[in-house]
């Protein structure tokens, strides 16, 4: 840790980047020296990152950006991110030794859900939804069997295979087109095959259509589906409602405040444009 800013609520720390390396076309892994936040991190938690000057100093974008915690161990905090705009582009330029601001951990974690880790899990990760899965596997810690289903749209977007296999354990990889490894298709194909053999709870993260499809599978096979929802966040503290999701029973779920982990079977996915 380099510097400390004292506030109530989430920890806010200015920390040193240890590594920031590409893992695929447009995808990077940033690892930071962040022991205090790493010690509190649970699967599904996220942090807000700022790798550019503060707004009062002319820095743009105006707001910090939220990212799922990929891993937290030995005092280090890692995030997996995709370069999609000016914020993540500036993050990609941060080299070892650079300072970034980290706020967190934020949100509701998988550890707070009503589940039994000993029952095992199927982990479903679509694209950059792979981000929270390493921490989820670390949290399971061998208490239950786990299989990771990882899907991408294109093989060129698949993360480095050796890096993935170094932590993923039992793995099924798919890509809709030209897979660099694994099979062609959607991750819901092999996931449903696995559900036919053995029912297990599901933890999923990825784009909305994929979360809807995985939740539908869970409903049809009668198994819980916990999702770490991907939603555009502005404030990150539940005030603006930018990230809220419609619920089947009415009302809305604030992803940043009540989530990002929630029961996927309670979401009215059909109402999300």
Q: pLDDT digit string (tens) for 94-148?
A: 999 999 999 999 989 999 888 888 889 999 999 999 999 999 999 998 888 999 9
Q: What value does the mean pLDDT take over residues 54-78?
A: 93
Q: Which of 49-63, 77-91, 220-234 has the highest mean pLDDT?
A: 77-91
Q: Are 170 and 161 in contact (CB under 8 A)?
A: no
137/145 Cα distance (integer angstroms)? 10
Residue 114: per-residue pLDDT: 82
Which of 185, 191, 140, 201 minimizes the C-alpha distance to 167?
Answer: 140
Sequence spans of domains, the chain: 3-106, 110-271
- What share of the chain in percent tops pLDDT 90? 77
pLDDT band at 57 (very low <50, low <70, confident <90, very high): confident
DSSP result, 229-269: E----SSSSSSS-TTEEEBTTSSEEEHHHH-BEEEGGGB-G
Supply the DSSP symbol for 13: E
Which of 256, 252, 257 minimizes the C-alpha distance to 266?
Answer: 252
Contacts of 216 (CB under 8 A, 6+ apart): 269
pLDDT band at 177 (very low <50, low <70, confident <90, very high): very high
Which of 53, 57, 56, 55 minimizes the C-alpha distance to 90?
Answer: 53
Q: pLDDT digit string (tens) for 46-56?
A: 999 999 988 88
What superfamily in CATH does domain 3-106 come from?
A: Translation factors (2.40.30.10)
More confident residue, 37 or 60: 37
Supply the DSSP symbol for 85: S
Supply the DSSP symbol for 4: E
Domain 110-271 adopts which CATH fold? Rossmann fold (3.40.50)
């Amino acid at each position: 840790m380099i510097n400390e800013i004292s506030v109530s609520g989430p920890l806010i720390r200015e920390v040193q980047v240890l590594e920031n390396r590409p893992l695929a076309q447009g995808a990077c892994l940033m690892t930071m020296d962040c022991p205090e936040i790493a010690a509190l991190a649970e699967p599904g938690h996220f942090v807000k990152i700022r790798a550019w000057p503060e707004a009062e100093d002319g820095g743009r974008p105006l707001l910090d950006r939220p990212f799922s915690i990929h891993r937290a161990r030995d005092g280090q905090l890692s995030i997996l991110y995709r370069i999609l705009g000016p914020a993540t582009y500036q993050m990609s330029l941060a080299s070892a030794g650079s300072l970034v601001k980290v706020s967190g951990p934020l949100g509701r974690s998988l550890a707070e859900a009503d589940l039994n880790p000993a029952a095992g899990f199927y982990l479903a990760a679509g694209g950059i939804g792979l981000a929270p899965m390493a921490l989820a596997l670390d949290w399971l810690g061998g208490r239950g069997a786990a299989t990771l289903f990882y899907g991408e749209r294109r093989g060129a977007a698949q993360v480095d295979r050796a890096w993935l296999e170094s932590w993923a354990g039992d793995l099924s990889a798919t890509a809709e087109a030209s897979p660099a490894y694994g099979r062609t298709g959607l991750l819901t194909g092999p996931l449903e095959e696995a559900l036919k053999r053995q029912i297990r709870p599901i933890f999923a993260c990825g784009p909305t259509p994929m979360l809807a499809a995985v939740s539908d599978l869970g409903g049809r096979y009668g198994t819980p589906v916990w999702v770490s929802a991907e939603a555009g966040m502005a404030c990150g503290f539940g005030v603006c409602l930018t990230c809220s999701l419609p619920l089947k029973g009415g009302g809305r779920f604030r992803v940043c405040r009540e989530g990002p982990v929630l029961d996927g079977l309670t979401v009215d996915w059909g109402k999300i444009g």
